[in-house]
A and B are shown apart, each in its own frame.
Chain A
Amino acid sequence: MNNEFWAELSGVKKRFGKTVALDGLDLQVRRGELFSVLGPNGAGKSTAISLLLGLLQPDAGTARLFGRSPSLVEPRRHVGVMMQEVTLAPELRVHEHIALVASFYPSPLSPTEAMELANITALASRPYGKLSAGQKRQVQFAMAICGRPKLLFLDEPSVGLDVRARENMWGALRRVVANGASIVLTTHYLEEAESLSNRVAVLNKGRLIASGTVNEIRALVVRKHITCSTVLAADQIAAWPDVESVTREQQRLQISTSNSEAVVRRLLAADSNLQELEVRRAGLAEAFTELTQEAA
């Protein structure tokens, strides 16, 4: 076991009846990184996280948390958790929920400190059941950080948050990582993963199909997008070699190509008045779609 990894799955297989949830998955989470686990529904993300939290046992392979079995309570005392599918007691007040979770840790923050970090001090005495969906997520975030965790598992942390609350949470996540903790993020907001992640893993059908930095993942998609204002007709450009598609939006053409350099050279040669030329690489969302479609 390599101690540089705070959480690790090695060759993990997991079945539920006839369904193969994970098929030889390897994942490593290092110190001080925000690691996003992406994948379509049923890819095995939740199973992978459940194995790292000790909620499930692998059929084959090993799961390790700080070099130990996740079913032991000791490594879990370094872990904070925010689950998506959880309903907390509506009768308890916000500060009571946080005090309860804090009591499980050896050296926790006080509920007041945790609420300050999560920007929810004003909600302290509100019954949990009276909160909006976004406020509940903020409370769950405070519960996740109240034990001073080294490693945070966050499942869809910003669902239901308004723009300002989401920016606050993103800022909080960046500060958690800047202070040396690690975060494992599962999210359907690819914009969130693109903005926050140091590393990304893309799962599909229980296998790791790509992993690396956001730029490395984006670079896996060779297609680039060219936009420009031109007098050339869309049909004419669509017939050029290496051009995959051309669409017109008002005065601008949008061209998808796997050989942007050659297409740009030909565009400039064909239209000397060409303007507003822009070339951009595929985003994480597009890379994700392409990777998961290829693997399907």
Chain B
Amino acid sequence: MSTTTFEAIDKSSFPDVMSPGRLLRAYFTEARFESLRMFRVLGFSIPFLVLPVALYLLFGVVLFGDAVRNDPATGKFLFAAFSVFGVMGPGMFGFGATIATEREQGLLALKRALPAPTGSYLLAKLLMTMVFAVIVMATMIPAALFLGHLPLTFAECAKVTAISVLGSLPFCAIGLFIGTRASGKAAIAFVNLIYVPMMHVSGLFYPLPKFLRTISPIWPTYHLQQLVFSALAMPSYGRVVTHVAVLIGVTLILTLLSIRRLARVG
């Protein structure tokens, strides 16, 4: 039995201004449901949450456990590599493919027609990516401490987590840039076209030959990995400020270009 009547709709005196509390709640609600739905997409959540720690355990514990015990620097290298790998995917695929698909499906137009708070759609995806990055680090650190037997201090763990979570931003920006320009199907191909070389040609998993090392700084992964090395008190190339500037630059430029595109084309 319905108890609600249509008189409930006609409250002509209701305000058109949102209280700060309601506005904050709108942002939170969008971020919560974006995260919830991406967790429910098992084809997205399982690879991006399980794969980094599973690969770290395979290489850092099962295959090269003895070498890591004799040389903690190798263990830290693998930990750094799979931490960076873990925060790349959710940003690139969570933004790139989903935005391209949702643009095609009319969801973006609906959000623009509805009184959704400014930027809530993109912010929700950003927070979803950060939630995924936090979970990746929350699995990587115990695995490194208790199964990889790495001598990590609390401060090192905290620094690597903060760097990795914030370090997901440039990958979100790359995904956003692709997602605002490509069709749903093409976006996945384009993301892979950047994701795969970025993993292998930036020196993420293994030292590169000299001729490749000269071009590795073009990839954000290189700069993020150098920052993680610094946080773990490992030898690293370049200056911290340069790496931070490159990552912020990539994030800002690609995000601004994407927002301009969204505002003009939708």
Contacts and interface: CB of A to CB of B under 8 A. Distances in A.
B16 A87 contact: no
A74 B25 CA distance: 17
B9 A176 contact: yes
Nearest to A92: B37
Contacts of A136: none
Interface string B8-37: 111110111111001001100110010011
Interface string B217-241: 0000000000000000000000000
Contacts of B110: 81, 83, 86
A106 B10 contact: no
B214 interface: no
A92 B106 CA distance: 17
B197 interface: no
A109 B112 contact: no
Contacts of A54: 112-113
Interface string B89-130: 000000000000000011101101111111000000000000
B40 interface: yes
B90 to A, nearest CB: 16
Given A104-B116, A106-B22, A91 B41 contact: yes
A101 B30 CA distance: 9
A150 interface: yes
B interface: dominant SS: loop
A133 interface: no
Interface residues of A, number: 48
Contacts of A148: 8-11, 14
Contact of B109 (A74, A83, A100, A145): A83
Contacts of B113: 53-55, 76, 79, 81, 83, 153
Query: What's the interface size class on B, roughly?
Result: 35 or more
Contacts of B2: 116-117, 119
Interface stretch (A22-30, A178-186, A278-286): A178-186
B4 interface: yes
B6 interface: yes
B16 A176 contact: no
Given A89-B37, A175-B6, A106 B18 contact: yes
Contacts of B36: 91-92, 96
A113 B8 contact: yes
Q: Which among B12, B17, B41, B266 has the highest number of chain A CB atoms within 10 Å?
A: B12
A96 B25 CA distance: 14
A interface: dominant SS: loop
Contacts of A147: 115
A85 interface: yes
B17 A104 contact: no
Interface string B230-266: 0000000000000000000000000000000000001
B14 A106 contact: yes
Nearest to B118: A73
Nearest to B105: A87
Contacts of A100: 29-30, 33
A180 B7 CA distance: 9
Given A106-B16, A145-B9, A178-B6, A99 B29 contact: yes
A51 to B, nearest CB: 11
Contacts of B117: 73, 104
Contact of B107 (A87, A112, A117): A87
Contacts of B4: 109, 112-113, 116-117
B3 interface: yes
A103 B29 contact: yes
Interface string A149-171: 11001000000000000000000
Contacts of B33: 89, 92, 96, 99-100
A181 B114 contact: no
Contacts of B19: 106
B220 to A, nearest CB: 29
Contacts of B109: 50, 55, 83, 86
Nearest to A68: B16
B3 A116 contact: yes
B136 to A, nearest CB: 21
Pairs of residues from A and B, 6 with the lowest C-beta to C-beta distance, nearest first: A87-B105, A86-B106, A175-B6, A179-B10, A103-B29, A91-B40
20 contacts: A54-B113, A55-B113, A55-B266, A73-B115, A76-B114, A77-B115, A79-B113, A79-B115, A85-B106, A86-B105, A86-B110, A92-B33, A106-B17, A106-B19, A149-B9, A175-B6, A176-B9, A178-B6, A180-B10, A180-B12
